[in-house]
Chain A
């Protein structure tokens, strides 16, 4: 897990990039808890979202979970290869398993999220 990641309580991570965009994915903990992923629905590019709004859904054998935007902004890119290779989410959740790139409305919003140690404490609680 990289130190530049921030986490939402709903288990999404976000990484600010040098170009002003931010990459979003789902934590390894969440992927492991869901087990056996079978389907994923991604948002369209250009969709504007508010922090906490659904940006997609992921289905495992037992459950469907919403994916939530950790910050407000515009979806500028989606990992279209992911639905066809869901195993990537488990193999490389913080790299090739990225889900969307967002142009944040207010990058400072990321300060409201948890750092790695706070997130680890959350999932251990």
Chain B
């Protein structure tokens, strides 16, 4: 039996408003195709994305990110400092098996990434709530813990409730589709002050004699290939990278939507 296609776009760097606009259109694409679609992308410069309802004042009070471009996501969750992470957007129609409850899509993509990281020698697992959890409303996504977040143990150490969060995701549940934003922290972001910096995969495996990264760079393409292979398996889908960027042919529609994300009223809505 031939596996159905799981379309994946790997886009070049764009600014925050364009990325957010493209992701909204990705949700439309999921609806049009009737299944899971994924976009992997980068940022033109280190950028902070705020959760849909995070108070702007909290970002302005965080001195470690002062001066960085800021965009407000349509999805929930805490602020993410993009630039040393693997950013993805995934979307499914609400009628999809992973569209019914927020946890379904969240767990499906996090579990498969935990397996990939395990194959790379990183002991990663879905977070189970514990008394040691930091405040649920911490400003930065990677300072929060919620059920299903991906946490990982530093090389050579036994799993601990204080293990760092390595991947987080949050959703926007639209009328007929679900858009999920997520971030896998590849390394600590040196563009921001220490108070806003969190260890990533590179820091977790340092000291490990057989880490996958070469010269400090992760083979992110290999990670994504394997991740989507595993994620698509239960759906009978095989990831297929699209030859053209997602933006191709959608430039006007993206720019139209990006205007909302550039609008200070959107950024300052709370």
Interface residue tally on A, bucketed by range: 10 to 19
Residues 11-52 of A, flagged 1 when their CB comes within 8 A of B and 0 if not, give 000000000000000000000011110110100000000001
Whole-angstrom distance between the alpha carbons of A65 and B172 in the complex? 6
Give every chain B residue within 8 A of A64 (Cβ-Cβ): 51-53, 74-76, 170-173
Whole-angstrom distance between the alpha carbons of A39 and B169 in the complex? 18
Give every chain B residue within 8 A of A52 (Cβ-Cβ): 175
| B170 close to A62 (CB less than 8 A) | yes
Binds B, one of A53-61, A97-105, A108-116: A53-61
| A33 close to B100 (CB less than 8 A) | yes
| Min distance, Cβ A9 to any Cβ of chain B, angstroms | 9
| Min distance, Cβ A33 to any Cβ of chain B, angstroms | 5
| A63 close to B175 (CB less than 8 A) | no
| A57 close to B102 (CB less than 8 A) | no
Of B102, B172, B178, the most chain A CB neighbours within 10 A belong to: B102
Does B162 have its Cβ within 8 Å of any Cβ on chain A? Answer: no
| B175 close to A62 (CB less than 8 A) | no
Chosen A-B contacts, 18 in total, with CB atoms closer than 8 Å, are A35-B103, A36-B136, A36-B146, A38-B136, A41-B53, A52-B175, A57-B53, A59-B52, A60-B76, A61-B136, A63-B75, A63-B102, A63-B172, A63-B178, A64-B173, A65-B173, A66-B173, A68-B175
Using a CB–CB distance below 8 Å, which chain B residues touch chain A?
51-53, 74-77, 100-103, 106, 136-137, 146, 148, 169-175, 178
Using a CB–CB distance below 8 Å, which chain A residues touch chain B?
10, 33-36, 38-39, 41, 52, 57, 59-66, 68
